[in-house]
Amino acid sequence: MDKTITSEVDFKAIDEILKSCDYKKSHLIAMLQKVQAIYRYLPEEAMTYIGEKVDGLSPATVFGVATFYAQFSLEPKGKYEIKVCDGTACHVRGSLPVLNAIKEKIKLEDGKFTTKDGLFTLEIVSCLGACGLAPVVVINEKVYPQMTPDAISVILDTLMKEEQ
Amino acid sequence: MTLNIDIKEEQKKSQEQMAKQGLRVLVCAGTGCVANGSLNVIKKFEELGANVSTLTAHDKMTIVPTGCHGFCEQGVLVIIPDMHVTYVKVKETDVEEIYESHIKEGKPVERLLYTDPNTQQHVFKNEEINFYAKQTRTALANCGKINAECIEEAIAVRGYEALANAIKENNPDAVIDTIEKSGLRGRGGGGFPTGRKWRFTAANKGGKSYVVCNGDEGDPGAFMDRSIMEGDPHKLIEGMAIAAFAIGADEGYIYVRAEYPLAIKRLRKAIADAEAKNFLGKNIMGSDFSFDLHIKEGAGAFVCGEETALIASIEGERGMPRPKPPFPANKGLFGRPTLINNVETLANVPVIMLNGADWFAKMGTEASKGTKTFALTGDVNNTGLIEVPMGTTLREIVFDIGGGMRDGKKFKAVQIGGPSGGCLTEEHLDIPMDYDNLIKAGAMVGSGGLVVMSDKTCIVEVARFFMNFTQNESCGKCIPCREGTKNMLAILQKIVDGKGEMEDIETLETLAKNVKEGSLCGLGKTAPNPVLSTLKYFKDEYIAHIKDKNCPAGVCTSMTTYVIDEEKCKGCSKCARNCPVGAISGEIKHPYTIDQDKCIKCGVCVSNCPFKAIERK
């Protein structure tokens, strides 16, 4: 196994995570969640490391689990994670116009999820369980209820100004 | 068994504590209301101090952050039970007025009362708000009434009493008997008799076994499990402990979606509090029954709601279903006998144990007992979470509790049961809703998502929406589901894009049948339901899309054109200035025109036109 270690990943921190999970393979999802909490994505080196360190796992199984669940990202995410709910209630009440307004506002290229400047990542999620407030947008854990294309533009404007 | 805790005594102590709180002001702190700023409302109330008027029977007030009241759209909700009043859409800036005018002077703040959508009248009393008046709350009984993060308040409303009784009587079989006799069926979708499931698992008593709570509420449009976990976590914990006692398990897991951070936080606190009181952990209440409870966070996969996939996920693997048999009751988590129940099912358990099987069985219909929660959303006036006896009609739900259609739109259909369910139409408005009647109508209770649709909702687009969802969430293990949903989606997309052919309908029906029969798990087996039921009741809409290239609801953009009415257009240029692609041109004070080749049909011009001169055709 090629052990190219980049300076980016702090293996000590990952050791801590593995320790807190008792090096048990049944805690793999929790381990990956903790790694993602640090890096906002799953660096390949971290996944390989876990696969080699934990009994019963291989880098391939770790990669398999990481790609199965929607929560995990193999690419770095933007500073602001925008989640647009497209669950049934939000869909019926117009989540798509809101989604289009966001794409236009943050100037997202087709087929991409993160903006060039690394500021925004756009995600579509199925249901956030806030159906009474449809359509809903969540930006870094903060829930914005009853969105319209205009309302979300104002919110994004504010965020962009803060960043300038 | 003798216990070292007298639960009745604890209850009395907690009730006395609560009585000392004085005037209780309940502020909803569920996900919905927090999004609307309820934490600031709570803070503002607390800043005002605790003084109340002599008009109330209390000497002080206490602000109680509660779980979800269900009426999320009207949030932030502030309820003062002793004054029989519910305030809706409360903002931080309204708090002082409520306090000064109502709590101190006894004068209700009219502008913050709920307005009946039909009569346009303010409603002064809680019990007269039609959204609540027609409900029967058992699983949700305490949601919104108690401080969700305080175990004492849960104890005061008889929390853990049923568990104490069960351990004291020490007759696990009798517990299973009661659940069996109550007629409780699985609330997660399948509707399997809960008591029978318990009995199957209990038959494998002896070695290690597990109780697992399925809190992976993945159906888009359903949020009852979230509300229970956030609003009354102790009821769920108690239900699980009773189940563990009945089947002889000593360890349990609650599997919660990662999309529900508040539920996870409250459950963690509740488990720690219950452990501190020795309601969980080793030798519960001094008996020889032990039960350790853990939380497992999901990572975003709808298929993990399927019980064998959920087990795989708890074991740390890809959440893919496994063939049954062996059933989890024989060989489940880590190869051991495992009981898996959904959140709402387990939340019903303590209530049944306290009130008896007969009390529960009196509610509902012949084969579907008790109550069911529904997440009512879409084009109705009152959206939110409701709980009604099984057998309530759709008409009562949409037109009484839901307050009728929004903006005077016309009722067209209800989509029930999410991506596994189907549509109900006007002809179904009066059938009693229960497991069996809904299956007969080609739909299912599912987890209880109820999306009301009007004549402005395109049925074909909705079918495409659900197929897109299941296709995305198909785990890919079995071919009928993996390839079948993909092809069905492609055909639906084609129809929505205005490129459909008549033979597509037949192909869809054949594919649907094959996916239904050939798939390994419930996801695939039910994935074609939305297509089949919309084809059954709204075939003419499919045909209109295919033959006439017309979307009757005016939703499918490929079939709509926007035209400016020359008579109405005043030439103000607002549409042209707002058009994102510069498709509108003209001369000031003369009618403008839309270049159909450039138009992307976003509809921005329609919402901007001050003269309503732009028509959608």
Q: Say yes or no: domain B7-129 is CATH 3.40.30.10.
A: yes
Quote ipTM for the complex: 0.87
> How many whole angstroms separate alpha carbon B260 and alpha carbon B257?
6
pLDDT band at B56 (very low <50, low <70, confident <90, very high): low
State the pLDDT at residue B48: 86
**B221/A89 touch (CB, cutoff 8 Å), yes or no:** yes
Higher confidence at residue B608 or residue B210? Answer: B210
pTM recorded for the entire structure: 0.91
Identify all chain A residues contacting B309, using CB atoms and an 8 Å cutoff.
none
**Within-domain flag for A34:** yes
| Averaged pLDDT for residues B371-397 | 93
Are B222 and A71 a contacting pair at CB < 8 A? no
Contact between A132 and B453 using a beta-carbon 8 Å cutoff: no
pLDDT band at A20 (very low <50, low <70, confident <90, very high): very high
Q: Residue A55: what pLDDT?
A: 95
Closest CA to B223 of B419, B448, B445: B448
Tokens of A147: 């969105």
Chain A residues inside the 8 Å CB shell of B314 = 26
pLDDT in tens, B510-559: 999 999 999 999 999 999 999 999 999 999 999 999 999 999 988 888 88
In this structure, is residue A3 part of a structural domain?
no
Alpha-carbon distance of B4 to B6, in angstroms, equals 7
Q: Is the peptide bond before B76 cis (omega within 30 degrees of 0)?
A: yes
Whether the predicted pLDDT of A144 surpasses 50: yes
Mean pLDDT of chain A: 89
Contact residues on chain B for A97, CB-CB shorter than 8 A:
602-603
For the domain made up of B151-360, the CATH class stated in words is: alpha beta
* pLDDT, position B270: 98
Dump pLDDT digits (tens) for B547-590: 999 999 888 888 888 899 999 999 999 999 888 788 999 999 99
Interface test with A, best of B40, B223, B616 (most A CBs within 10 A): B223
Q: What is the mean pLDDT of residues A63-71?
A: 95
A142-144 vs B371-378, strand pairing mode:
unpaired
Same domain, A98 and A134: yes
CB atoms within 10 A of CB B323: 10
Contact B378 A89 (CB under 8 A): yes
The backbone region for B341, taken as left when phi is positive above 0, alpha when psi lies in -120 to 50, beta otherwise, is beta
Considering chain B, what is the average pLDDT of its residues?
Answer: 93
Least Cα distance to B387 among B223, B185, B162, B146 occurs for B223
Using the beta-carbon criterion (under 8 Å), do B319 and A68 form an inter-chain contact?
Answer: yes
Is residue A73 in some structural domain?
no
* A45 plus A88 within the same structural domain: no
Q: Tell whether omega for the bond before B337 is within 30 degrees of 0, i.e. cis.
A: no
CB contact under 8 A, A145 and B32: yes
DSSP state of A130: -
Token pair of B78, please? 């502030």
Residues B455, B461, B463: CA angle, nearest 5 degrees: 105
Query: Out of A65, A126, A129, whose CB is closest to B223?
Result: A129
Which sign, positive or negative, has the C-alpha torsion B70, B71, B77, B78?
negative
- Is B283 buried (19+), middle (13-18) or exposed (0-12) by CB count in 10 A? exposed
Which residue in the set B32, B302, B602 is minimally distant from A132, CB to CB?
Answer: B32
How many residues are listed for chain B in this entry? 617
Instruction: List every span in chain B annotated with CATH 3.40.50.11540.
Output: 151-360
Which of B567, B608, B610, B615 has its CA nearest to residue B591? B567
Taking the C-alpha atoms of residue B110 and residue B127, their distance in angstroms, rounded to an integer, is: 16
Inter-chain Cβ pairs, chain A and chain B, closer than 8 A: 143
Residue B255, chain A, CB below 8 Å: the answer is no
User: Residue B103 — very low, low, confident or very high, per pLDDT cuts 50/70/90?
Assistant: confident
Q: Mean pLDDT across the stretch B230-255?
A: 97
pLDDT at site B55: 59
Q: A63, A68, A73: which to substitute to probe chain B, counting the most B Cβ within 10 Å?
A: A68
Contact A71 B299 (CB under 8 A): yes
* Residue tagged 């071919």 (tokens): B479
Largest Cα separation within chain B, whole Å, is: 90
B296 touches chain A (CB under 8 A): yes
Cβ-contact B467, B526 below 8 angstroms: no
- Same domain for A90 and A145, yes or no, is yes
Q: Residue A2's pLDDT band (boundaries 50, 70, 90)?
A: very low
* Upper half-sphere CA count for residue B17 (Cβ side, 13 Å): 14
Asked if the model's pLDDT at residue B199 lies above 90, the reply is yes
The reply to whether A132 and A94 lie within a common domain is: yes
| Closest C-alpha to A87, from A121, A149, A123, A134 | A134
Secondary structure tally for chain A: helices H, strands E: 7, 4
pLDDT class of B54 with cuts at 50, 70, 90: low
| Total domains present in chain A | 2
Find the largest Cα–Cα distance for chain A: 52
CA distances from B539 to B137, B463, B492, B501, B545 (A): 38, 12, 13, 14, 10
Q: Judge contact between B349 and B242, C-beta under 8 A.
A: yes
**Helices in A21-148 by DSSP H: which ranges?**
28-39, 44-53, 59-68, 88-92, 95-105
CB pair distance less than 8 Å for B383 and A129: no
CATH code for the domain of A150: 3.40.30.10
Q: What is the pLDDT of residue B338?
A: 98
Sheet holding B61-66, edge to edge: B61-66, B23-28, B78-80, B85-87
Domain coverage including residue A48: 11-68
Cα of B12 to nearest chain A Cα, Å:
36
Task: Please say whether the beta carbons of B24 and B6 come within 8 A.
Answer: no
State yes or no: pLDDT of A1 exceeds 60.
Answer: no
Q: Are residues A113 and A62 in the same domain?
A: no
Q: Would you state the pLDDT for residue B514?
A: 97
User: Could you say which residues from 332 to 351 on chain B have a Cβ atom under 8 Å away from some Cβ of chain A?
Assistant: 334
Q: Cβ contact (<8 Å) for A125 and B259? A: yes
Residue B617 has pLDDT above 70, yes or no: yes
- Structure-block tokens of residue B504: 């597509």
pLDDT at residue B14 is higher than 80: yes
Task: Provide, as residue numbers in chain A, all residues whose Cβ is less than 8 Å from the Cβ of B450.
Answer: none
Whether B580 and A104 lie within 8 Å, measured CB to CB: yes
Return the structure tokens found at B164.
């104490």
In a shared domain, residues A20 and A54? yes
Contact (CB, 8 A) for B86 and B122: no
How far apart CA A61 and CA A48 sit, in angstroms, is 10
* DSSP β-bridge partners for residue B26: B64, B79
User: What mean pLDDT do residues A8-37 have?
Assistant: 94
Strands, E assignment, B289-368: 292-297, 338-342
pLDDT of residue B53: 63
- For residues B402 and B452, the answer to whether their CB atoms sit within 8 Å is yes
Gap between the Cα atoms of B159 and B232, Å rounded: 10
Q: Is B109 on the interface with A (CB under 8 A)?
A: no
How confident is the model over B340-366, as a mean pLDDT?
97
Determine phi and psi for B164, rounding to 5 degrees. -60, -45
Q: For residue B240, what pLDDT is reported?
A: 98
Angle at which helix A95-105 crosses helix A149-163, to 10 degrees, equals 30
SS (H, E, C) B203-250: CCECECCEEEEEECCCCCCCCHHHHHHHHCHHHHHHHHHHHHHHHCCC
Q: Which of A84, A88, A103 to mutate to test the interface with B (most CBs of B within 10 A)?
A: A88
Which string of DSSP letters, residue by residue, matches B584-600? EE--TTS--EE-TTT--
**B384 → chain A, closest CA residue:** A132
pLDDT over threshold 80, residue B208: yes
Asked whether the beta carbons of B565 and B592 are under 8 A apart, the reply is: no
Which of A22, A57, A126, A148 would best serve as a mutation to test chain B binding (most B beta carbons within 10 A)? A126
| Residues paired with residue B369 on neighbouring β-strands, in sequence order | B364
Establish if B299 touches chain A: CB-CB under 8 angstroms: yes
Answer yes or no: do A105 and A126 share one domain.
Answer: yes
Is there a single domain that holds both residue A159 and residue A138? yes
Chain B positions touching A30 (Cβ under 8 A) are 296-297
Residue A96 has pLDDT above 90, yes or no: no
Residue A1 lies in a domain: no
Cβ contact (<8 Å) for B299 and A33?
yes
Are A30 and B384 an interchain contact pair (Cβ–Cβ within 8 Å)?
Answer: no
On whether any CB of chain A is under 8 Å from the CB of B449, the answer is: yes
Residue A32 to residues A19, A41, B106, B267, B502, Cα–Cα distance (Å): 13, 9, 55, 21, 48
CB-neighbour burial class of residue B494 (10 A; exposed 0-12, middle 13-18, buried 19+): middle
- Cβ contacts (< 8 Å) between A32 and chain B: which residues? 299
The predicted model gives A42-52 an average pLDDT of 96
Chain A residue numbers touching B375 (CB-CB < 8 A): 89, 131
* Cβ <8 Å between B260 and A33: no
Residues A43 and A101 reside in one and the same domain = no
Cβ under 8 Å to A: B residues 29-48: 31-32, 34-36
Is A44 part of any domain? yes
Same domain? A93 vs A159: yes
Q: Is residue A75, in this structure, part of any structural domain at all?
A: no
Residue ranges matching CATH 3.30.70.20 in chain B: 561-616
Average pLDDT for A95-109 = 90
Of B265-279, B348-362, B417-431, where does mean pLDDT reach its minimum? B417-431
Hey, which CATH number is domain B459-546, 1.20.1440.230, 3.40.50.2300, 3.10.105.10, 3.20.20.70? 1.20.1440.230
Average pLDDT over residues A62-91: 92
Residue pair A153/A112 in contact (Cβ under 8 Å)? The answer is: no
Q: Which segments of chain B belong to CATH 1.20.1440.230?
A: 459-546
- List, for residues B138-164, the tens digit of each pLDDT value: 999 999 999 999 999 999 999 999 999
Of A26, A128, A144, the CB nearest to B259: A128
CB-CB: which of B302, B318, B453 is closest to A126?
A: B302
Closest by CA to B75, choosing from A143, A132, A135, is: A132
- With respect to residue A63, please indicate whether it lies within any of the assigned structural domains: yes
CA distance B520 to B524: 7
CB-closest option in B36, B301, B375 to A68 = B301
pLDDT of res. A141:
83
The span from the CA of B367 to the CA of B370, in Å, is 10
**Sign of the alpha-carbon dihedral angle for B480, B483, B487, B489:** positive
Amino acid at B586: G
Cis peptide bond upstream of A135, omega within 30: yes
Write the single-letter amino acid at A43: P
Q: For domain B371-454, give the fold.
A: Ubiquitin-like (UB roll) (3.10.20)
A41 domain residue, yes or no: yes
Q: Which residues of A touch B (CB under 8 A)?
A: 24-30, 32-33, 61, 64-65, 68-72, 86-89, 91-93, 97, 100, 104, 125-134, 136, 141-145, 149
Structure tokens that stand for B170 in this block: 């020490």
Interchain contact, A132 vs B415, CB within 8 Å: no
On whether any CB of chain A is under 8 Å from the CB of B220, the answer is yes
The predicted-structure confidence for B438-463, as pLDDT tens digits, reads as follows 989 888 888 889 989 999 889 999 99
In this structure, are residues B550 and B468 in contact, taking their beta carbons and an 8 Å threshold? Answer: no
Q: Dihedral of the CA atoms B504, B510, B513, B518 (nearest 10)? A: -110
pLDDT at residue A3, rounded to an integer? 41
With an 8 Å Cβ cutoff, is B210 touching chain A? no
Mutate to test the interface with A, among B212, B257, B377, B457 (most CBs of A within 10 A): B377
CATH of domain B561-616: 3.30.70.20
DSSP state of B57: S
Collapse the DSSP code of B100 into the 3-class scheme (helix H, G, I; strand E, B; otherwise coil) and give the result.
helix
The answer to whether residue B75 neighbours chain A at the CB level (below 8 Å) is: yes
- Find out whether B338 and B210 touch, Cβ atoms under 8 Å: yes
